[in-house]
């Protein structure tokens, strides 16, 4: 009867457990009775124990079967450990975990990637980032907050590093002693989460533990202008593309010996749409904005925010936005807003980079992209 049972069926077995050299677990069960709880259909659309790999699209079409593979499950054990590490690290540093709305009246990261939804008789948008709300909470006196939540971007590009629904780990803090204090908190939290994850999955024999990068703090700080020199276009003040990021990641490894690095002092021209980014007092053509990169992949951006309402309003106008549609955000700046700063960290990109798999989609259970809305 066992021989006729299709693979992947669910059975209840009673039997005798004996030590066995043949089995990789070191034991084998010799059944005395067997009950079929759920008989699998045959053939399977995707092999679970086969050595031959299937195309990613086929795997994602039949994701439930794909997730049964220990090598795939290992990624989600890593993901859970990293998230647990972050939660501990932020909480220990006095950050309060918060949740902000995902249905919004306006976006913060540019109109092109907004998803519109019908909200009764008026339009609404899915949140691209908790940006406006985490800043408003500074005015509410919360001082240190973090949020781990979905963010939605209508990314039309079909790349290995963009998805339309991702998990954003956002943090915001009041009264930073300048942008470097933000970077110090961020790098310490990243290093601590990584250490926690390595121990947690390591003790369970997860093979991904051995491949995790060293996060030796402080991470190098590389001015944006130096990156442009590396790219052979000094002073161009053009945003970094995927290929540029890879070159910078390779140089950071070669010359500074670190898989993690900050790119600091983003030019105002590059951040023109980022209306909430504060311009530097002594160099208004530069912002206090930075990115955190890991081996050529941007995983975070953040910086000091503009907390002065007159300048913030000017920035909105020069970004081509209408301040009147940001009134509930602006109100938070009218009645006492402390200086503040923060960052948005891409959880999927981080887990993807740590797991060393080819595509960011493999770091999510059921990824969403331009073409995929199920399973």
Closest CA to 178 of 270, 287, 273: 287
Q: What is the total count of residues that contact ligand AMO (CB under 6 A)?
A: 21
**361 Cβ partners below 8 Å, 6+ apart?**
56, 60, 160, 163, 367, 369
Region binding ligand AMO by CB under 6 A among candidate stretches 98-106, 137-145, 224-232, 300-308: 300-308
Region binding ligand AMO by CB under 6 A among candidate stretches 37-45, 96-104, 292-300, 329-337: 292-300
Question: What residues from 92 to 151 belong to the interface with ligand AMO (CB under 6 A)?
Answer: 109, 129, 131
In the complex with ligand AMO, which residue's Cβ is closer, 65 or 152? 152
In the complex with ligand AMO, which residue's Cβ is closer, 13 or 117? 117
- Cα separation, 179 vs 221, whole angstroms: 11
Check binding of 153 to ligand AMO (CB under 6 A).
yes
Give per-residue burial for 329-354: e unless 16+ CB within 10 Å, then b. Answer: bbebbeeebeebbbbbbbbbbbbbbb
Tokens of 55: 């195309």
Supply the minimum distance, in Å, between the C-beta of residue 5 and ligand AMO.
41
Check binding of 342 to ligand AMO (CB under 6 A).
yes
Which residues are tagged catalytic?
153, 155, 161-162, 298, 301, 349
- Cα separation, 166 vs 149, whole angstroms: 8
Q: Tokens 């002065």 map to which residue?
A: 308
| Beta-strand relationship, 103-104 and 122-126 | antiparallel
Region binding ligand AMO by CB under 6 A among candidate stretches 27-35, 91-99, 326-334, 336-344: 336-344
Question: What residues from 188 to 247 belong to the interface with ligand AMO (CB under 6 A)?
Answer: none
Supply the minimum distance, in Å, between the C-beta of residue 157 and ligand AMO.
9
With DSSP H G I counted as helix, E B as strand and the rest as coil, what are the percentages for the chain, rounded to 5? 35, 25, 40
Region binding ligand AMO by CB under 6 A among candidate stretches 23-31, 86-94, 158-166, 218-226: 158-166
In the complex with ligand AMO, which residue's Cβ is closer, 46 or 108? 108
Supply the minimum distance, in Å, between the C-beta of residue 183 and ligand AMO.
13
Tokens of 353: 């980079």
Supply the minimum distance, in Å, between the C-beta of residue 27 and ligand AMO.
42
In the complex with ligand AMO, which residue's Cβ is closer, 298 or 306? 298
**243 Cβ partners below 8 Å, 6+ apart?**
none
Check binding of 349 to ligand AMO (CB under 6 A).
yes
Task: Return the residue of 187, 245, 298, 362 that touches ligand AMO, per CB under 6 A.
Answer: 298
Instruction: Give me the sign of the Cα torsion angle 97, 147, 288, 221.
Output: positive
* DSSP output for 314-355: HHHHHTT--GGGGHHHHHTTTS----EEEEEEEHHHHHHHHH
What is the contact surface with ligand AMO in residues (CB under 6 A)? 109, 129, 131, 153, 155, 162-163, 166, 168, 170, 298-302, 342-344, 346, 348-349
């Amino acid at each position: 009867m066992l021989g006729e049972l299709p693979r992947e069926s669910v059975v209840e077995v009673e039997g005798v457990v004996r030590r066995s050299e043949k089995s990789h677990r070191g034991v084998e069960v010799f059944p005395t009775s067997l009950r079929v709880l759920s008989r699998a259909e045959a053939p399977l659309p995707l092999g679970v124990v086969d050595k031959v790999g299937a195309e990613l699209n086929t795997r994602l079409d039949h994701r439930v079967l794909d997730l049964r593979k220990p090598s795939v499950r290992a990624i989600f054990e890593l993901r859970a450990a990293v998230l647990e590490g972050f939660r501990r690290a932020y909480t220990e540093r006095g950050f309060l975990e918060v949740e902000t709305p995902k249905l919004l009246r306006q976006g913060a990261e540019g109109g092109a990637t907004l998803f519109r939804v019908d909200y009764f008789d008026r339009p609404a948008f899915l949140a691209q980032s908790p940006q406006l709300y985490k800043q408003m909470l500074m005015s509410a006196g919360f001082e240190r907050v973090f949020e781990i939540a979905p963010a939605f971007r209508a990314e039309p590009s079909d790349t290995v590093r963009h998805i339309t629904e991702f998990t954003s780990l956002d943090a915001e803090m009041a009264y930073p002693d300048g942008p470097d204090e933000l970077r110090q908190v961020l790098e310490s939290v990243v290093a601590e989460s990584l250490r926690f994850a390595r121990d947690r999955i390591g003790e369970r024999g997860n093979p991904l533990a051995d491949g995790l990068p060293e996060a030796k703090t402080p991470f190098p700080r590389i001015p944006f202008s130096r990156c442009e020199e590396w790219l052979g276009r000094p002073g161009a003040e053009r945003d970094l593309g995927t290929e540029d990021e890879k070159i910078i990641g390779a140089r950071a490894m070669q010359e500074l010996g670190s898989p993690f690095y900050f790119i600091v002092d983003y030019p105002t021209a590059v951040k023109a749409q980022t209306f909430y980014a504060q311009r530097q007092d002594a160099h208004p053509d530069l912002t206090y904005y930075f990115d955190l990169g890991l081996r050529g992949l941007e995983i975070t951006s953040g910086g000091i925010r503009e907390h002065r309402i007159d300048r913030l309003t000017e920035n909105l106008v020069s970004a081509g936005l209408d301040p009147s549609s940001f009134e509930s955000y602006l109100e938070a700046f009218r009645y006492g807003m402390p200086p503040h700063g923060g960052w948005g960290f891409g959880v999927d990109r981080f887990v993807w980079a740590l797991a060393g798999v080819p595509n960011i989609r493999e770091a999510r259970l059921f990824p969403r992209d331009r073409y995929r809305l199920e399973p």
